[in-house]
Amino acid sequence: MHPKKHAKVETLTQARQKALDELFYLPVGGQAQPRYSPDLQAEKTRAIESKYDADLLALMDAAEKQGTTAEAILARVDRPYEWLDPVEMARAATLAPFVREDFATLDAAGLVQAVQAAAGAGRAEKWLALRYAAMRYAELDRDIQTALGMGAKAHYSPAVQSLRDTVMPATERRERADAQKQLDDAKNLYDAAEWARPSVKQDFAARMGIDARYVD
């Protein structure tokens, strides 16, 4: 599956094509002709392609740095023990054994229902639901194979995210949303830039047994 297009890659691709087009001229009523001798034409073409590839590699490097920064922000704000104040944390400590017991034997469907039901509880209870749901889900995720179980799993992440948003402080939520957006953009940019490299397309075409000119 090819990656989504990215504006920064598209800008480079258009600039490269413009540079290549400028190596030719169009006589009146004729077909495009090279502007230079064969050797010089080939040299200029290689220079354009080399610059294009270097620019794509630079974008990939920038995408990696952007992704690393975003992941660091996500790791910083996603610290549940900092979401509750001392009073809420004390209540959570009191209730923890009971909530842990409630979640310990839930199946996939029950787990989703429990997370959804916690939306009407207090912050400490929501926090505990997130904690023990994650533990139970990790256990279930190893061996859920039934269609019913797999269907329940599809609803788990949205339910958890919805509950998490009611517990995570507003500042951290905004930071997390911005960082996630930057991380998604970084992944898209990296994939788009990598796929745009002629050598990558040529390798793909060789593996598929097709002409690289028809790989987009």
Q: Quote the pLDDT of residue 193.
A: 96
Tokens 């064969």 belong to which residue? 38
Cβ proximity of 64 and 190 under 8 Å: yes
> Could you tell me the residue ranges of all domains in the chain?
1-79, 84-167
Q: Write the CB contacts of 108 (distance below 8 Å, at least 6 apart in sequence).
A: 140, 144, 148, 149, 152, 153, 156
Q: Output the tens digit of pLDDT for each of the chain's 216 residues.
A: 567 899 999 999 999 999 999 999 988 778 889 999 999 999 999 999 999 999 999 999 999 999 999 999 999 998 888 899 999 999 999 999 999 999 999 988 899 999 999 999 999 999 999 999 999 988 876 655 554 456 677 788 899 999 999 999 999 999 999 999 999 999 999 999 999 998 888 887 777 777 666 666
pLDDT at position 147: 44
Residue type, 118: A
Q: What pTM was computed for the model?
A: 0.76
E strand or H helix at 33: strand 33-34
In 50-72, which positions are buried (b, 16+ CB within 10 angstroms) versus exposed (e)?
eebbebbeebbeebeebbeebee
